[in-house]
Amino acid sequence: MKVLVTGAAGSIGTVVTTGLADRDHEIVGFDRVPEPEGNAFAWFTGDCADLDAVRSAFADNPGIEAVVHLAGLPDEASLPEEIESHLYTTAALLDVMRENDVRRIVYASSNHAVGRTPRRDLLGDDVLPRPDTFYGLAKVAAEALLQLYVDRYDIEAVALRIGSFGPQPESLRQLSTWLSPDDAVRLVEAALTAPDPGYAVVFGISANTRAWWDLEPGRRLGYEPQDDAEAYRELVGPDEDDEVETAYVGGPFVLERFHRPAF
């Protein structure tokens, strides 16, 4: 499948582009940073909040069949910055997908879309939006936009509410929320190739023994995670922040130090 991947130079983007290319997908990387040295696939340098840049990326790379949208601020910023980074980029991609008859988009949403939800047993894909930050709020808005385009047009969208992506879990909370690099590739490939997902929400975590989120909706799309954060439990020492980090889904993002004026 020929796939445009935004945020291709980022930490998750680097892993996902390499992993998808290894699985015989044809990658077009899209990022604000120039093509990295030694890059092995097509590259477009631009900002995906810029409609003209997105149009050029598609025009320069005919035959794109799907979009994986990973670009965006990874942390809290002002409301306008978050809205541009997550909502406007998604809107530009969706409109240009429609212009080019591209149907499938896989979106890197975040657990912070529901981050203010108090921790209880397993959360399913039906949990109501409850952002913990403007970052989480912009993810909610982008998810809603995807739903709107699926309902209105011939678009299929899978929103991945990613937990804590990284080489290994680094806190007690991350023993529950970790998404390993290999599972990230499995997750994105499943979301790209699942038949008829309509609009689907999937929590992006590995097969963690202490998972906070139900893996069943992902399994229904063909996502079979192989890693478990528990393998690293000896490396994660007790920390004074553990209690607050595990009280809410969004962990540290609920803390007062993340509060800021909207503008």
- Does 110 bind ligand 15L (CB under 6 A)? Our answer is yes
| Segment near ligand 15L (CB under 6 A); pick from 93-101, 104-112, 144-152, 230-238 | 104-112
Instruction: Indicate the angle between helix axes 51-60 and 89-99, nearest 10 degrees.
Output: 40
- Does 164 bind ligand 15L (CB under 6 A)? Our answer is yes
Which residue, 75 or 154, is less far from ligand 15L as judged by CB? 75
Binders of ligand 15L in range 176-205 (CB under 6 A)? 177
**What CA–CA distance (Å, rounded) separates 152 from 58?**
22
Pair 42, 48: CB distance under 8 Å: no
Identify the burial level of 141 via C-beta atoms within 10 angstroms of its C-beta, where 0-12 means exposed, 13-18 middle and 19 or more buried.
buried
Which residue, 143 or 156, is less far from ligand 15L as judged by CB? 143
CB of 101 to ligand 15L, least distance (A): 31
Pair 185, 19: CB distance under 8 Å: yes
Residue 153 among the catalytic residues:
no
CB of 111 to ligand 15L, least distance (A): 5
CB of 164 to ligand 15L, least distance (A): 3
**What CA–CA distance (Å, rounded) separates 90 from 48?**
8
- CA distance from start to end of the chain: 41
Which of 135, 149, 223, 248 is catalytic? The answer is: 135
E-assigned strand segments in 164-249: 164-165, 178-179, 199-204
Binders of ligand 15L in range 238-257 (CB under 6 A)? 251
Binding residues for ligand 15L, rule: CB under 6 A, are: 74-75, 110-112, 162, 164, 177, 251
